[in-house]
Amino acid sequence: MTDTTRIWTAALLVIGDEILSGRTQDKNVAQVATWLNVQGIRLAEVRVVGDDQGAIVEAVNALRARNDYLFTTGGIGPTHDDITVDAIAAALGVEVEIHPGARAILERYYETRGGLNEGRLRMARVPAGADLIPNRMSGAPGIRVGNVFLMAGVPSITAGMLDALTGTLEGGLPVLSETIGSWVMESEIADLLRVTEQAHEGSAIGSYPFFREGRTGANFVIRAVDPAVLAECAEALLTGIRAMGREAFPGGI
């Protein structure tokens, strides 16, 4: 049964020197956040660390302790610098082992691709007691151990792993949103935003100012899990902005 009151949260740990150096631009944050929202889980925080075991261990233990779920992307490939499995095993205090199911998957996948060599077999290594996340794209599975999910860094492969997890995690209701835009300075409307949010329990209003066409404006994103609360809060904000003598644009500017 879906819990309509509890807020379920997740953290994302992005792993890889190539992200921090700027050689690779991360695309997983947006897709993980969007997917989690549909599962009724909110992405509460994101951290990026390099290929350093100590940094990964520290981040894993901090993030998994204060969230319902922790997702990691990157560092589970066949090369020597893919250390995510070792780091998470260390964080959890368990050994690393070859998962027989993962080995069988890789043997089948590489049967016509040159066979399973030592590097490829590294992708069958898991923290002891882990389960597998199916990967229909490249053979090598993702890994689930407790509330920690290890996924590939390649966004298309990550997407497939998320698809395989769809509907399997406990969560609440998905967060709904509506956007209202206005050519108004954020400071002029701060009190209205605060009062409107407080008057509609279960809502949250984010303010995103911009300078465009030589003018200052802002888009206001209202979020709620209850569609009725969302509609009422949006209508109240629209009315409030127009009462100030300003135009308000449903859908944003």
Residue range 213-231, pLDDT digits in tens: 899 999 999 988 889 999 9
Distance CA 233, CA 200 (A): 6
Distance CA 215, CA 124 (A): 56
Phi and psi at 167, nearest 5°, equal: 80, 0
Q: What is the pLDDT of residue 212?
A: 83
Is residue 219 a contact partner of residue 181, using CB atoms and an 8 Å limit? yes
pLDDT at 3 over 60: no
Task: Using alpha carbons, list the distances in angstroms from residue 216 to 51, 209, 253.
Answer: 42, 7, 11
Share of the chain above pLDDT 70, in %: 98
Q: What is the pLDDT of residue 1?
A: 47
pLDDT digit string (tens) for 17-37?
Answer: 999 999 999 999 999 998 998
Q: What is the pLDDT of residue 5?
A: 64
**More confident site: 1 or 67:** 67
What's the whole-model pTM score? 0.76
Residue 191 in tokens: 């009190």
Distance CA 178, CA 189 (A): 17
